[in-house]
Amino acid sequence: MRGVWLATGILLALIVIVTLHDVLLVFFAAAIFAVPLRAGATAIARWLHIPAGAGLVALMVAIVLAAAAVLWGWETILAGQVAQLIAALPAAADVGARALREEPWASRLAQLRIDPGVLLTGAGGLVGALRSVLGGTLAGLVDLAILIFAAVCFAAEPRTYVGGLLRLVPPQRRARLDAVLGEAGTTISLWLRARVISMITVGGLSGFGLGALGVPDAVALGVLAGLLAFIPNVGPIAAGLPAVLLAAPLGWQHVVGVVVLFWLAHAIDDFFVIPVAERRIVRLPPALTIATQLVLGLASGALGIMMAAPFVAVAIVVIRRLVVEDVIEREPGPAADSVSLLRLEKADAS
């Protein structure tokens, strides 16, 4: 009977995950971003000798002021370059298409028209249905509002939500699950810190390199490369395509230079920066990360692609602790040893 209830519970859980995967992914992202919020609030509270709630308020005020400063810098420094970049990309794409049409081996490639929206459209779920009704922009703002609200709530009272989750498991397993959740939170915090360092490194190298190569709008392209460095595997490709398009009218030498530049920037990041930044966490298997990006991207769009890497990081910690160590590699207890010994004795007697 217990096995029937367990199978029923697993089946219901799978149905809920498949049906509400968009909603669950939004709240997973909120939990991910709540980790640095809580850490920052705790640090501010310890530094100013104030309650943790007041520290979270101070952190939110600082974030709002920083966002205002970024917007001001965007308007005064980057807005013109971004507008030029958006206006120049279609013309650069046409130049590249004409160049391809002149090559016999690439004539068929020039006729392809890939719609990136195919990979960035959520499929199903409550938020997916809302997106189809209200449109992508408004639904994205709704997703963002829910994510921010949930992240602040999780950061304000983490023990309330963790305690509610722990009450769903047997009492003898709560301490172990609490420890695993704490390790997962630490892993996410370290992973986010490493991502920020990687974004700064890639953005800086790309911007300076593109400027040295004479590619137009190098600052905007560098900022784009830095932002997209948050997404492993997919981000470098998405950031490199606009730079290649803008370099195409300048000649194939500039195109090769841009490709080599991006390769060098990400090679330096992969082989020197990330190993140091992520030395305290498990390295994410590239094939597993790419597969997760494909699945979550097709299921939930851009948010799924962004959350694939932290999802893999959390899944590795949970599976290693709760499945591998506690189930697969768990040593049998005295009772199991005695039963096995009794069976061997009966087999010898027969």
Residues 232 and 284 sit within 8 Å (Cβ to Cβ):
yes
For residues 60 and 22, the model is more confident at 60
How confident is residue 30, by pLDDT bands cut at 50, 70 and 90?
Answer: very high
Q: Which residue has the higher pLDDT, 94 or 204?
A: 204
Tens digits of per-residue pLDDT, 230-245?
A: 888 788 888 888 888 8
Model confidence pLDDT, tens digit, residues 107-121:
554 455 444 444 334
Burial (CB < 10 A; 0-12, 13-18, 19+), residue 238, is middle
Does residue 110 contact residue 97 with C-beta atoms inside 8 Å?
yes
pLDDT band at residue 303 using 50, 70 and 90 as cut-offs = confident
The answer to whether 247 touches 255, Cβ cutoff 8 Å, is: yes
Contact 42, 147 (CB under 8 A): no
Q: Where are the alpha helices (DSSP H) in 74-170?
A: 79-101, 107-110, 125-134, 136-156, 158-166
Neighbours of 126 (CB within 10 A): 14
pLDDT digits over 53-62, tens only?
A: 899 999 999 9
Alpha helices by DSSP H, 214-285: 218-228, 234-247, 252-268, 274-277
Residue 330: what residue type?
R
Look over the chain and give the mean of its residue pLDDT values, rounded to a whole number.
76
pLDDT at 349 over 60: no
* 303 vs 162: which has the higher pLDDT: 162
pTM reported for the whole predicted model:
0.70
Checking if the pLDDT of 338 tops 50, the result is no
Location of structure tokens 């590699």: 329
Q: What band does 131 get if pLDDT is binned at 50, 70 and 90?
A: very low
Say how many C-beta atoms besides its own lie within 10 A of residue 323's C-beta: 11
To which residue do tokens 């290649």 refer? 244
DSSP state letter for 122? -
Judged against a pLDDT cut of 60, whether residue 139 lies above it is answered with: yes
Q: Whole-angstrom Cα distance, residue 185 to residue 317?
A: 10
CB 326 within 8 A of CB 179: no
At 309 the pLDDT is 87
For residues 28 and 277, the model is more confident at 28
The tens digit of pLDDT for each residue in 209-264 reads 998 988 887 888 888 888 888 888 788 888 888 888 888 778 788 888 999 999 99
